[in-house]
Amino acid sequence: MLKFHQIILRKFLLLFAFLFLLVGAIVHYWTYDYYIDSSKKALIQDISLLSFTINNRTNFDALARKIKKNLQLRFTVIAKDGTVIAEGYKDKTSMENHRYRPEIMQADNEKFGEIIRHSHTLNKDMLYIAKKIELKNKIIYIRLAKELKGIYHEFVNLGIKISAVVILFFIILFFMSYKINTQIQYETNKIVDFLKALTKKEKPTYITSHYSQEFALITSLLTKISKILAKKEKQHDKYTKKLQNSNRQKDDIISAISHEFKNPIAVVNGYSQTLLEDESINPSIRKKFLTKINNNGTKLSELIDTLRLSMKLDGKTQSIQTHQTNLNELVNETVQTLQLTYPQKHIMIQGDKSIIVNVDKTLFGVVMSNLIENALKYSEDEVIVKISKRSIEVIDTGIGISEKNLEKITEKFYRVQQNSWNNSLGLGLFLVNKIITLHHFTLTISSKVNEGSTFKVEF
């Protein structure tokens, strides 16, 4: 494909050639006619002047010589019968009768006789003007002739001058358009470079042009497009990062869940296999093994229950059935169960033992169990459960939670990175928060790293 300046140059040369031929043709026809015409007029003027100056005493031969010498014109005098009386260019005696020369015949009837024809006498193309005059009651014809070659010469001179002007005009036009073209080339190159950079994502931010309104508009639109693309790119990057993040989170969650299931399943498999292989096993060991299998089965079903409950709460399909419940009794039951798993830990229940609240017993049991278990898991010392008329608090003096993590710990599957994954899904506080919201209670968490945490549920 051709470049822009090549297209312009090609078109320009074509136009130049066409116009040059056209102008040449016009100049040729127009100037040729013009020159013949003006020569004719000059000859008519000359012959009219001559007709006034000629009289009886005029020496025609001398006059013819003079006209030839000074004006380079052929002067002929012809008698009524056609005999040549005087002639500037040839010996008149050798000349034939001129009675029937067309210009002479025309001069007979009209004011002037005029013709362009070949002269047999001189063997040249000539322009003739003839006039009939009366001298001493005698009719004679005077005739002036000009060689066409001379006329043609003058015409060519003019043609050359006009052509020179036309060529000069074209050269100026060419340079002007060449300059405009170079500038346009520069502007388009700028745009092309900008677009190339855009496709390579080299982050071009803006492009300007002050050459013309059109270029200014194009470049400002391109700048806008580049900005939009950069914005889109940024959004795309952000979206991709978010997607990657959420994928990673999902992977983490799946690996955490499978990890939680793996242990109890391994225990169930291991002990049951031992029991199957060794039938003569000691009854007390057999009972120990069966208890382990049973405990881990319970753990598995609890894990599944937690997952199911979290899905129900998340999908807002969990309903609550509230009953007047004695808080102290509910907490006691929970503590007793937890104490089995954490036998060496001390849990202290403080406050009014007769407080009754309207709660869903099972769900609120989940709340208390999670809060107390967290306190047991994340602290070494004793755990206090404080019951009052308006609230219940679970207090520990453990590792605490940083401010950054405080905002996130109630999210589904969120766990503080440093804490071990063992025996945790990161669902406990998510369930707690959802259940408390369902009861229209409020949960306030206050915590300090290395000092401990307080989880307060207000009714």
Ligand X SMILES: Nc1ncnc2c1ncn2[C@@H]1O[C@H](COP(=O)(O)OP(=O)(O)OP(=O)(O)O)[C@@H](O)[C@H]1O
Binding site for Mg ion (CB under 5 A): 374, 428
Cα first-last separation, the chain: 81
Work out what residue 92 binds among Mg ion, ligand X, none; the CB cut-off runs from 5 to 8 Å by kind: none
Sort 35 into a burial class: Cβ within 10 Å, 0-12 / 13-18 / 19+.
buried
Applying CB under 6 A, among 141, 370, 385, 392 the residue interacting with ligand X is 370
Residue closer to Mg ion by CB (options 318, 374) is 374
Cβ 403 to ligand X, closest distance in Å?
13
Helix axes 213-277, 283-314, angle to 10 degrees: 160
Closest-approach residue to ligand X (CB): 428
Residue closer to ligand X by CB (options 23, 409) is 409
Applying CB under 6 A, among 374, 384, 392, 436 the residue interacting with ligand X is 374
| List of long-range contacts for 327-331, beta carbons under 8 Å, 24+ apart | 327/355, 327/356, 327/357, 327/387, 327/392, 328/352, 328/353, 328/354, 328/355, 328/387, 330/361, 330/364, 330/365, 330/368, 331/368, 331/372, 331/385, 331/387, 331/392
Residue closer to ligand X by CB (options 42, 416) is 416
Residue closer to ligand X by CB (options 86, 385) is 385
φ and ψ at residue 86, rounded to 5 degrees: -145, 150
Cβ 249 to ligand X, closest distance in Å?
14
Cβ 433 to ligand X, closest distance in Å?
9
Residues in 375-404 that interact with ligand X by CB under 6 A: 375, 378, 396, 398-401
Applying CB under 6 A, among 121, 209, 334, 453 the residue interacting with ligand X is 453
Instruction: Decide: 216 and 207 in contact? Cβ < 8 Å.
Output: no
- Cα dihedral 53, 54, 55, 59 sign: positive
Residue closer to ligand X by CB (options 219, 424) is 424
Work out what residue 113 binds among Mg ion, ligand X, none; the CB cut-off runs from 5 to 8 Å by kind: none
Which strands form 391-396's sheet, in the order they lie side by side? 347-351, 383-387, 391-396, 452-458, 442-448
φ and ψ at residue 42, rounded to 5 degrees: -60, -45
Residue closer to ligand X by CB (options 87, 396) is 396
Interface pattern 411-450 for ligand X (x via CB under 6 A): ---xxx--x----xxxxxxx--------------------
Work out what residue 330 binds among ligand X, Mg ion, none; the CB cut-off runs from 5 to 8 Å by kind: none
> Alpha-carbon distance 146 to 126, whole Å?
6
Contacting residues toward ligand X, per CB under 6 A? 370, 374-375, 378, 396, 398-401, 409, 414-416, 419, 424-430, 453
